Each structure stands twice: as C-alpha cells, then as structure tokens.
Structure 1
Amino acid sequence: MSLTPQGSERVPEQRRGGSGGGRRRRGGQGGDRGRRGRRILRWSAMVLAVLIVGTAGAGYLYYQHLNDNLKKDDLNIGDKKDRAAKSKANAAGQTPLNILLIGSDARDSAENQKLGGAKDTYNTAPRADVQMLLHVSADRTNMSVVSMPRDTLVSIPKCTDPDSGKTYASSTSTMTNASLERGGPGCTVATWEKLTDIHIDHFMMVDFSGVVSMADAIGGVPVCVDANIYSHTSSGHGSGLKLKKGTTSIKGKQALQWLRTRYGFEDGSDIARTKAQHMYMNSMVRQLRENATLSNPGKLRSLAETATKALTVDDGLGTVTKLYDLSKELKKVPTKRITMTTMPWVYSSDGNRVLPKPTDASKLFRLVREDIALDGKDKKKSKKTTTSSDPAAADDKIAVQVQNGTKSSTLAPVSGRASAVAQLLVGKGFDEAEADSSTLLSEDETVIRYPSADLEGDAQRVAKALGIPTSQVEKSTDVSGVTLIVGADWRSGAKYTAADDDDTTPESASALNGSDTKACMHVDPDYTW
C-alpha cells in the first residue's frame, strides 16, 4: 500500500520473499508486482463476512457438497509464547468472538490471474493485502471492525508451515501483508495476536475469484460521492470509476472499481480507499438486511457455490453448517451497533510505510480486548475498589518484587525501569523491594498482584504508597509474592499518575457507524468531470 497522495509513488513495493511451502494454492517465490495488481480487491474477506451477516435470514440454502469446496488451514502456526490468552467470559458466561478477515492477492488460478494482472507472478506466494479484525461482543449486542493498513511495519513471530514443516524465522519491521507467505494464514493470525494481545478464534480468507459475482448477486449497493468523479490519470493510473455527484447504486464492474479507487478519493491514499470500502460494506449490510430473502434462490445458490470455492477457513469453521451457525451469531448484532475503524497509524521515519500510532493504537486494541463497544454505547464498567480486611505488615517487612512491563504493541521496553521503581520503593521505606531483571513483560496498565488473601493487605499498602488505585491490585496464582509490574502507562518519572477512566474510541481510528446513511466520499478536484 502506498500512502502517498496522488501524483507520486514513494518507493517500489518490496520484493516478495520466502516460499509458499507445500500448498499448491500458495505457489512459490515471486518478484515485484505491478501497482495495479497489488491494489485489487483487498476488501474481499470483508465482502464475504458481511455477505454472511446479511443473508443469514435468507434460509438454509447450502448443500452438503459445498463442504468439499471449502479449503482449510491451521488457525495459528506461531510460537506458543506469542499467543494471546483466550477471551474471558462475562458475568453471564458469554465470550466474545474474534475473527480475522484476510484478503489474499493469490494468482493461483486463471481467473485470479486475470483479475490480479501481473502475468509474471502467476502461482507466486500470496500476501495478505487486506486484514480486518471482526470483534463480536460477548452479549452479541455490538460488533467492531479494525482494519490494518497493509504497509504497517510489525514484528512477525516465528512460524512453522504445518504442511512442509518449514520454519520461518521471526522478523522485525516487516510489512504485515508479508505474514501470509510465511506458512499461510496461521502466521497472519499469529502476527495479529503478537501485536494486539487479542485472542483470535477463527479466520476467513478469500482470494480474487468470485468477488464480482458476489457484487452482482446482491443486486446493487448505494454509494455516495460529493462531486462527479473519474478515477483516471494520463499515465494510466486509476480504477476507471466514473460516477455522477450524489448517490448511485453500483454492482459488478462498478462495485469493483469503487473498492479499488485510490486516485480521486480525498488525498489519494490507501487510508482514503479504506474509508470508501467501509462505506460500501456498511451500505451492503443495510441492503442485505432490508432485502434478506434475496428474491432469486438460484442466484443465492450460485453465490454460495462461488463463495465456498474462494474461501479458506480454520478447522473451527470448516463446514457450511459451522459457517451458517456463525452467520446466525453475526445476525444478532443490529446494524446501528456495527462500528468500522482503521488502526491509528503514523508514517515511519522514512515516510514510506506506517507504524501503529503510539497510545491510540494500544488504546483501540485494549478496547477490543476488554470487549468495550467502539460506538461508545456500552454502559460504563465501574472498576472495583475494595479495602482489604487483612492488616498490612510494616513497610520495611513487605517483600516486593518489581518487574518491567513497559513494553507495548507500539513501544519498546524502557531499560532499567524495574530497578528504578524498586529503588523508589526502598526510598519510601520498603526495604525488601527488589527488581526482577530477568523478566520482561508487556502490561498496558501498572498492576500489583498477590497470590493469596494473607498478602492482600500488603499489596494494597504498596499501591497506596505509590498512588496506584486499588482497582489495579489483583489476586493471581501467577505470582509467588507481592509483585509490582510497571506498565506502559508508567514509563518514566517517580510519580504514578492513574489514567483517566476513558473508554472512548480514539478519534484517529476514523470510526464509521453501520447505520450512517449520510456518509459520502470526498472527491479530489483534480479528478472531477
């Protein structure tokens, strides 16, 4: 993805590395691909997921032989140490559902090659050119979608291809879309879990083929532009989209053009294109739910055939029955409670790629991880504050182990932070405070943990001395004594300042509500007619 406004490309795309392992659908090693090919149909996975949401009420039209169409792959092929803990159940015993939607740019068939272009890249290793995390709340009242720009530089963990047995070494500052060619979608899942600490339950991956057929089967999706637009340049760039000002119902080729358009929308960046894709998806959901019966059963059956042939899923979604059950869960969420966002980002130092935006990206990931609705309509969750009945020992008798948890998904750890805070405690009279320099953790929020009730009073006394809220003191069998983990919210200074109890979605996430019928893409004046 180039984030450069129209008129210039910052640098050529990096060369494709590695191999596709033993799977025929991945192919082997390839070289550079044309700009046009890299920008086609990155929205594919979201199309399929939204289609399932919208057609759940249309009736069970799948056939048993559709199971044979589905391709399956391992959910997570990264190291266990990089995996996120499973989501916790709410008070009613319900758990959230996290699905990673992946759009592959594979050229592994004649149809995919025709759609993707770049003839010299036939059957080369695919990349994950669209990545969207779909989060369904535990109570199924709301849904959040987080898109990650494909040029985001991330740390990709070590991944082992389950078919070939080949191991791909971990790497840093690597474009996130390269994760797919390192053993398959299970490596893309592992990359997301390492970055966000969000447990992913399933993935759905789709390639180029069948997407136009999906758009046709829907029968038209209304989209809006604030001026006449023609996405075309004298040098041959542009999707070819040509629309009049206002709202137009698009399908087939026009739908494809809309979803590919970069030149002509706002600043000509892929971020603007993502915004247009979100508008399309929201409009599609509304259309499908308003016309949930889809009057032509034959078209719907054909769509099911096309979709299952284009789809790769994990074993947990490996039958049409499981996909249908998933669609019923997604259908429970009202359109007005669907929120689409883009991961907050900043340019890398050379301006050619992007990075997760410090603080804002971590906050967005935390909201999803804690099952907090991104539309802000959840009831505020009060933080538990209690005072222990267990009396604390004298300060100089309380043993405290201090660990460094300042590493976050966007920031490197602060060297020596555990020692600095341990010395701070010693200065306050906690003579038995010691730093554990052998352990490096990642905690968004500073926390004090204790293993048993007889140490609760001691842990709360340490919290009071440092100004840490008692809501951040918790019992845990993961520690053997009072343990202070200095989090990413206390990276410097001798005074701890508790963060505001703010669960609002960062403005930089560009949230778009599913019921927003007034959303309209701004057209670059250089592309009007």
Structure 2
Amino acid sequence: MSAESTPEPVIPQPDGTVPRRGRGRRRKARGKGRRALRATAWTAAGVVVLGGAGLGYVYFKLNGNIRSLDINQALGAERPTKIDNGSENILVLGSDSRSGSNKKLGGGTDDGSARSDTAMIVHVHEGHKKADVVSIPRDTLVDRPACTDTGGTTHPAATGVMFNESYSTGGAACAVKTVESLTGIRMDHYLEVDFQGFQKLIDDLGGVPVTTTKNIDDPQSHLTLRAGTHTLNGRQALALVRTRHGVGDGSDLGRIQLQQAFVKALLTQVRHVGVFGNPKKLYDLADTATKAVTTDSDLGSVNSLTDFADGLKGIGAKNTTMITMPVQYDPADPNRVIMATAKARLVWNALKNDQPVPKAATVGTATGGAKGVVSG
C-alpha cells in the first residue's frame, strides 16, 4: 500500500478506548519523520535541560495539562529591550519543589518550599540550526532586584543572596527578573520542569544510556554507579542530575557538568528512540511531558509548543554548546560562588550579538572538576 493511501493511526484515549473513524474523504497521513522531528526539536529547544522533552503534537489536544504563567504582565515594561536579530533566549528551570508528590523526590529539607534546582539560558541562534546553553549555578551570590510575582505580590530587593532564592521568593517571574538583571538580556520564553515529571518522562522513554568514566557514589542523591555504560531509569537519571558529593570537588559546579552531559545524552536518545510508530507510547509521552512543564503564556498551548518546536528541528546534541556562567569561588565562603564579571560580560555580549561564546570567557574560571565523568 502506498504512503498516500495509508490510513491515519487511531490514537487511543487515556481510558484505553478507541475513537470511531468519521466517514468521508480520507486525509493524508502525517509522516513519521515529521513526528520524529517535532520530538527532537522540542527536546533541543530547552525543556531537555532537565529532561522535559515536550512532545507537542497538535492531535493529542493536551492543552489542559500545560500550566502557563503571564510573566510579561508581572514584569511590566522595565525589562531589557528585545533583540530582533532572529535569535531567541529561553530560561529553563528545574524546580526543586518539596511539596506534594515531589516531596519524596526532593531530598534536602522537607519544608514544602520550592527552589530553582537547575537554571539554564538556552540561546537559539538565528536560523535555528545551533544553540548555546549557559548554566547558572544555584549557589551564585547575586543582588536580586525588586520584583512582582504572577500573583501580584511585590518582593523587595536583596543583596548577596543565592541565585535560587529568587525563585523561592517570587517564583518564575522573579527568577526571570533576576536573570535579566544579571545578563542584560531579555528572556523571550520561560520553561520549568518538575521532579516527578522528569522522572516519569525518562521511564516513558525507556531510559537514557550514559557512560561513566569513574565510579559515582553519592549517599545524598542515593546514586551508586560503577564506571561503565548504563541505561538510567527515571530515578537514576534524577539522582544523576542532582549528584554533587560523589564527583569532582563536591560543588554545585560539578553537578552542573553532570547535568550538561546528561542533556547531550538525552538529545541523542530522543533522536533514536523508537516510539513514533506506537500511538499508545506517543500518547503516554505527550501526556507526561505536557504535565511536567510550566511555560510562559506565549507557549501555553500544545499548538504554540508545536509551532515553537517546528522552528528548532535542526538542533541536536552535535550543534549544542554548553558552558557554565563564568564564576569564581567566594573568598569568604568556599561553598558559594560569585560571577566573574569581566568574563561573564564576554558571554552576555556574545549572546546579545548572536555570536559564538569566545573560549576566553571560561578560561581560568571555577569548573567543579567533573567534566568527562559522564558522557552520552
């Protein structure tokens, strides 16, 4: 049978029932390649920074799963000017919530609070063929500007506080405000992934293969891996991206290096995973992914996510560059870092001008010592 005469797949409903086909003229089936491109593109767009590979398919009609926030309204007009050069900047956060179903996954304190456990700026270059990802260490001491959260509450400015305090204080809007204050760059979009959704998504994908060059044993994240190749399930993947004491110098910088390596492995896995001909598995992935993310209001629908993904289908692991915001250990507290202002300015200027980040920007900065421990 020719491709033109192949009927469209019947998508099972969440309760397992199969909808009846309507009568009338049969439409051309949507190709597997297009579905695969959308999955890969959305992953590359940034949700993948913590494994939130959003499979935004129009025909799943899962708009109700997506939580969106009107960050533009909360931040108002006092923001960096949007740069109209064809590039885009997306702030991606992994939320370290201790409440609800995430509580047992979070570790640390059980106070029900929410923190930004991971933060990355995804810069998509003009032409949408490559991307730079800049991780912001959660332990960076910053001056947080005054901000208004999406509920309308105003929070006063604070000096010398940890970067992730901005999220726990005022949520997504205050996190965006702080990043824009640090960088001078307007964030075009916002994406947040929670613990539970991350873990379930990795399980739905069938795991992610990684290779470790050293043994990892971190009792705090409950991760133990011998040197070698492993296919990590959701629980192990979550532990890996939260591991810090079992690698490098035990700092947050080492954990960031593990996260960046895992993102590369996840990008590769999504390109190769064989789910695009399996309607039930596709539905499960889409259901999990759309429940896992919180977006800005401009991306707050399946259709918007799909359109966004279609513009990014050329980006994969090989053309994604990952660095950490240039920092130095704080002389007053080795458990904290401070931004290396001159070198960081090289990074922000490169993103503003849609140019590659110069290698000089990261030479001589603190690293964490975990590079190369994990690869895809």
- Counterpart selection for 1:69 from 59, 65, 68: 65
- How big is the shift at 1:249? 2.2
Q: Match for 2:116: what amino acid?
A: A
SS for the counterpart of 2:105 is helix
User: TM-score, with normalisation over the residues of structure 1?
Assistant: 0.57
Identify if the C-alpha distance between structure 1 residues 294 and 254 changes in structure 2 by more than 3 Å, giving closer, same or farther: farther
Map of 2:93 onto structure 1: 102
- How big is the shift at 1:44? 7.8
Higher alpha-carbon deviation: 145-154 or 301-310: 301-310
Count residues in correspondence. Answer: 324
- Counterpart selection for 2:81 from 75, 81, 85: 85
Identify if the C-alpha distance between structure 1 residues 364 and 292 changes in structure 2 by more than 3 Å, giving closer, same or farther: farther
> How far apart are the structure 2 equivalents of 1:296 and 1:241?
32
Map of 1:273 onto structure 2: 255
> For structure 2, which runs of at least 5 residues remain unmatched after alignment?
1-45
Identity %: 37
| 1:214 has 2:201 as partner | yes
> How far apart are the structure 2 equivalents of 1:154 and 1:268?
21
Map of 1:325 onto structure 2: 307
SS for the counterpart of 2:220 is coil
- How big is the shift at 1:205? 1.1
- How big is the shift at 1:75? 2.1
SS for the counterpart of 1:210 is helix
- Greater per-residue helix proportion: 2
Larger radius of gyration: 1
Identify if the C-alpha distance between structure 1 residues 341 and 63 changes in structure 2 by more than 3 Å, giving closer, same or farther: same
- Counterpart selection for 1:308 from 290, 301, 304: 290
Q: Match for 1:249: what amino acid?
A: T
Map of 2:31 onto structure 1: none
- How big is the shift at 1:339? 0.5
Map of 2:373 onto structure 1: 521
Please say if residues 230 and 240 of structure 1, whose CA atoms lie closer than 8 Å, have aligned partners that are also in contact. no
In the TM superposition, what are the counterparts of 1:143-162 in structure 2 within 5 Å? 143-162=131-150
| 1:121 has 2:107 as partner | no
- How big is the shift at 1:186? 1.2
> For structure 1, which runs of at least 5 residues remain unmatched after alignment?
1-42, 90-94, 375-501, 512-518, 523-529
Q: Match for 1:116: what amino acid?
A: G
For residues 407-429 of structure 1, give each alpha carbon's deviation from its aligned partner in whole angstroms, at most 9, with x where no partner exists.
xxxxxxxxxxxxxxxxxxxxxxx
Map of 2:24 onto structure 1: none
Please say if residues 217 and 225 of structure 2, whose CA atoms lie closer than 8 Å, have aligned partners that are also in contact. no
Map of 1:205 onto structure 2: 192
Map of 2:18 onto structure 1: none
Identify if the C-alpha distance between structure 1 residues 74 and 509 changes in structure 2 by more than 3 Å, giving closer, same or farther: farther
> How far apart are the structure 1 equivalents of 2:238 and 2:283?
22
Map of 2:240 onto structure 1: 258
> How far apart are the structure 2 equivalents of 1:267 and 1:278?
17
- How big is the shift at 1:209? 1.7
SS for the counterpart of 1:254 is helix
For residues 343-390 of structure 1, give each alpha carbon's deviation from its aligned partner in whole angstroms, at most 9, with x where no partner exists.
11112231232111131111111111111124xxxxxxxxxxxxxxxx
Map of 1:46 onto structure 2: 49
User: TM-score, with normalisation over the residues of structure 2?
Assistant: 0.78
> How far apart are the structure 2 equivalents of 1:508 and 1:365?
18
Q: Match for 1:129: what amino acid?
A: D
- Counterpart selection for 2:102 from 105, 112, 123: 112
For residues 115-134 of structure 1, give each alpha carbon's deviation from its aligned partner in whole angstroms, at most 9, with x where no partner exists.
12467413x3x221211001
Identify if the C-alpha distance between structure 1 residues 119 and 136 changes in structure 2 by more than 3 Å, giving closer, same or farther: closer
- How big is the shift at 1:179? 1.1
